[in-house]
Amino acid sequence: MIRYFDNNATTQMERDLAELMTNLCEEEYANPNSMHSFGVKQARRLEEARERVARCLSVDPREIFFTSCATETINWILRSSVFFRGKRKKIVTTSIEHKAVLNTLRDLKTISNIEYHAVSPESDGIVSVDRLLNEVDDETFLVSVMAANNVTGSIQPYEEIGKALRERGVLYHVDAVQTIGKIPFNLQKGFCDYASFSAHKFHGPKGVGIAFVKRGTPIKPFITGGGQERGMRAGTQNVPGALVTSIAMQRAVENMDTSSRRLRDFQQQIVESVKALGGAVNTPENSVSNTVNASFAGIRSEVLVNALSEEGVYLGTSSACSSRSDGGQYVLDEMGIDPSLASCSIRISMSRFTTEEDVAVLIEKLKKTVPLLKF
């Protein structure tokens, strides 16, 4: 039996939603842009999905756009902002963002005449609001901050930063990929201009991303073509994917309270067993409840992950979205964790489908494997 603890990389779909998706592909395959009633029905389904997502985030459906993944959404938002920068040249971000942000900024620096400053976190992995705001000056046109870190689970002060930026005429993007079903993420408060999400992180299908673009905020079409998604993101829409995503999001949001309470208890149990085995915990207290990042000195991440994988227990070493080799170690490096310890880090990430038994098996296997690998 599989014990899956790599939910920050991706999640399992529920059987009924996977079946719904198959049925829609098989039976309701018309193009939502076709004139006939078969197509019109799909167009309605797409709007139903948009409305459901909008309700989950407390925004207007016209502020929701479907894309193919969060990486696409992030590319769209960051690249579009450059177009509206006027004479300003600077983007402020954090050094622990996902590579979807960091590598896009690096590319923008090469191809556009912009600079970016990536503020490093404090030793607990959380970025200081003051230190970040100190970097925001008259030259700054965009700030991009993640809400929850995918490697350590740390919660960033994204809302506070947004409130402080409100009067400063700076565009603000929040990478909210690791929030859905984990912490309340309600956009009604109006703290940001853009936000990005990915369906497969909350038990939705792979291949569906979501962009929130606040009404009245400048945005430029990303993919040009047939004018779909109100001219912003051309290409025939993935209606089954969008519909199933919206249901998965609703379930994640509705179950959040119960699930995060259960996971907090599991997180505590895992933290205690890591400490009892002499490990170091890299996840701060102010974290999403599903994640524990830990290091066992002297046991390299891949060795422990492979050993546990032999036992049917699947963990991450870091972010599966980055290349296997460098992963998310840079996040731990930025926190000032010794590189020899950072290279021994494992990431245990749960979901609302994680059971008490899964956690008991994980702890038992850690107890068995860690002492064996140490000697």
From the CB of 215, what's the least distance to ligand PLP, in Å?
24
Residue 126 or residue 370: which is nearer to ligand PLP going by CB? 126
Does residue 287 touch ligand PLP according to CB under 6 A?
no
State which of residues 3, 45, 50, 98 lies at the interface with ligand PLP (CB under 6 A): 98
Q: Are strands 313-315 and 3-5 parallel, antiparallel or unpaired?
A: parallel
From the CB of 181, what's the least distance to ligand PLP, in Å?
13
User: Element (H or E) spanning 292, and its range?
Assistant: strand 291-295
From the CB of 143, what's the least distance to ligand PLP, in Å?
16
Q: Clarify whether 192 is annotated catalytic.
A: no
How many of the other CB atoms lie within 10 Å of CB of 226? 12
State which of residues 13, 17, 69, 78 lies at the interface with ligand PLP (CB under 6 A): 69
DSSP codes joined into one string, 228-257: TTTTTB-S---HHHHHHHHHHHHHHHHTHH
State which of residues 11, 67, 150, 293 lies at the interface with ligand PLP (CB under 6 A): 150
Does residue 71 touch ligand PLP according to CB under 6 A?
yes
State which of residues 17, 53, 77, 100 lies at the interface with ligand PLP (CB under 6 A): 100
From the CB of 218, what's the least distance to ligand PLP, in Å?
22
Number of Cα atoms under 13 Å in the Cβ half of residue 263: 25
- Residue from 140, 202, 205, 212 nearest 175 by CA: 212
State which of residues 228, 245, 319, 343 lies at the interface with ligand PLP (CB under 6 A): 319
The structure tokens listed for 7 are 């939910």
The end-to-end CA distance of the chain, in Å, is 28
C-alpha 249/C-alpha 199 separation (Å) is: 8
Reading phi first (left if > 0) and then psi (alpha if -120 to 50, else beta), residue 227 is in left
Does residue 329 touch ligand PLP according to CB under 6 A?
no
Does residue 177 touch ligand PLP according to CB under 6 A?
yes
The residues that touch ligand PLP, with contacts defined as CB under 6 A, are 69-71, 98, 100, 146, 150, 175, 177-178, 198, 319, 321
Q: Which residues carry out catalysis?
A: 321
